[in-house]
């Protein structure tokens, strides 16, 4: 059994397949009239959010509660971190309260690895720097499989991930999981927003791939990138890489439109996704609960307790 869930590469294929199957079980739980099971009763999950992310935090919190775990939440904004407390002291202190799992979000890559020396608790990576966001990857893979009706692989599928790949933990983890499942991943971005060394096939022109891909995965584009001269100021990025109504019309009818949220309307999204029938964006949010339940159950559960209480 795995002790932590911190990146797709670290987890490996068997662990990912197991989690995808578990996600499907959890989706079934979530469709029940009373979507709550006793599987993690008496276990304590601590959301350790050094970087603010309301959506991810709420999603993990709900996932833990649906498994009947006790939850506590630490957010840097309202905590002793502002008084100069170190990462190590924070982790050791919370750990001493009897935490079974930490769900960690930090703006610096690698923090979920660093803290393993200071706690015996399981560690779930809820996003570290530009590095990894493996539960997002899991929910993305599950969403695609669910929509196209596959259960074990994504062989032959082509997925274009568009936008700020370089600074995106979502791009890295989702690329890893999709490739692990057999999909072909193409990164679409200007060279300044790609990693220095390619981690997937790269294309600089969205219009070259938009009418053929099975999945169009739009990333959030931060306006600050223009201030640091990674892209020209003004509308050029929007014209070249945003999803416009015209581009949305060119998507195949059986394609999927995805986005990890939160969307930056007017930057990478110039269409209302609710008007794009191919959109799976809200499915991603829904499946996020199931995927995170699967991860927590896998790390903390005894393998039982998924029946109604």
Based on the residue annotation, tell me whether 3 is a catalytic residue of this protein: no
How many CB atoms are located within 10 Å of the residue 282 CB?
Answer: 12
Quick note: the x/- pattern for other proteins over 47-86, rule CB under 8 A, is: ---------------------------------------x
CB of 58 to other proteins, least distance (A): 24
CB of 131 to other proteins, least distance (A): 3
Q: Rule CB under 8 A: say whether 129 interacts with other proteins.
A: yes
Contact with other proteins (CB under 8 A) among 128, 140, 164, 268: 128
Closer by beta carbon to other proteins, 54 or else 86: 86
How many CB atoms are located within 10 Å of the residue 244 CB?
Answer: 14
Contacts of residues 86-94 at CB distance under 8 Å and 24 or more positions apart, as own/partner, are 87/50, 87/111, 87/114, 87/115, 88/115, 88/118, 90/48, 91/48, 91/115, 91/118, 91/119, 92/118, 92/119, 94/46, 94/48
How open is the CA angle 289-23-273, to the nearest 5 degrees?
A: 55
Closer by beta carbon to other proteins, 147 or else 179: 179
Based on the residue annotation, tell me whether 56 is a catalytic residue of this protein: yes
- Which phi and psi (to 5°) does residue 200 adopt? -165, 175
Quick note: the x/- pattern for other proteins over 171-210, rule CB under 8 A, is: -x----------------------xxxxx-----------
92/98 Cα distance (integer angstroms): 10
Contact with other proteins (CB under 8 A) among 109, 222, 264, 286: 109
Q: Rule CB under 8 A: say whether 106 interacts with other proteins.
A: yes
Q: Rule CB under 8 A: say whether 110 interacts with other proteins.
A: yes
How many CB atoms are located within 10 Å of the residue 259 CB?
Answer: 23
Q: Rule CB under 8 A: say whether 111 interacts with other proteins.
A: yes
| Positions in the binding site for other proteins (CB under 8 A) | 9, 86-88, 106, 108-111, 113-114, 128-132, 169, 172, 195-199
């Amino acid at each position: 059994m795995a002790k932590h869930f911190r990146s797709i590469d670290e987890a490996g294929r068997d662990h990912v397949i197991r989690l995808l199957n578990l996600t499907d079980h959890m989706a079934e739980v979530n469709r029940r009239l009373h979507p709550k099971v006793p599987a993690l009763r008496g276990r304590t999950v601590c959301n350790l959010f050094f970087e603010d992310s309301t959506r991810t935090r709420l999603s993990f919190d709900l996932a833990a509660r649906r498994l009947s775990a006790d939850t506590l939440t630490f957010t840097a904004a309202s905590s002793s971190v502002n008084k100069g407390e170190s990462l190590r002291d924070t982790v050791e202190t919370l750990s001493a309260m009897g935490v079974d799992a930490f769900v960690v979000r930090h703006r610096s890559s690698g923090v979920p690895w660093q803290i393993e020396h200071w706690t015996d608790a399981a560690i779930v990576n809820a996003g570290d720097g530009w590095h990894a966001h493996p539960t997002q990857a899991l929910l993305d893979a599950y969403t695609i499989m669910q929509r196209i009706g596959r259960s074990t692989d994504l062989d032959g599928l082509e997925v274009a991930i568009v936008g700020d790949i370089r600074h995106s933990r979502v791009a890295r983890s989702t690329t890893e999981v999709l490739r692990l499942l057999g999909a072909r991943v193409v990164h679409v971005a200007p060279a300044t927003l790609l990693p220095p060394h390619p981690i997937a096939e790269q294309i600089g022109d969205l219009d070259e791939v938009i009418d053929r891909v099975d999945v169009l995965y739009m990333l959030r584009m931060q306006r600050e990138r223009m201030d640091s001269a990674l892209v020209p100021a003004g509308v050029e990025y929007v014209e070249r890489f945003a999803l416009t109504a015209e581009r949305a019309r060119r998507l195949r009818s059986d394609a999927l439109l995805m986005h990890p949220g939160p969307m930056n309307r007017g930057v990478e999204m110039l269409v209302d996704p609710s008007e794009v029938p191919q959109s799976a964006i809200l499915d991603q949010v829904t499946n996020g609960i199931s995927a995170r339940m699967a991860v927590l159950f896998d790390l903390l559960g005894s393998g039982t307790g998924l029946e109604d209480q």
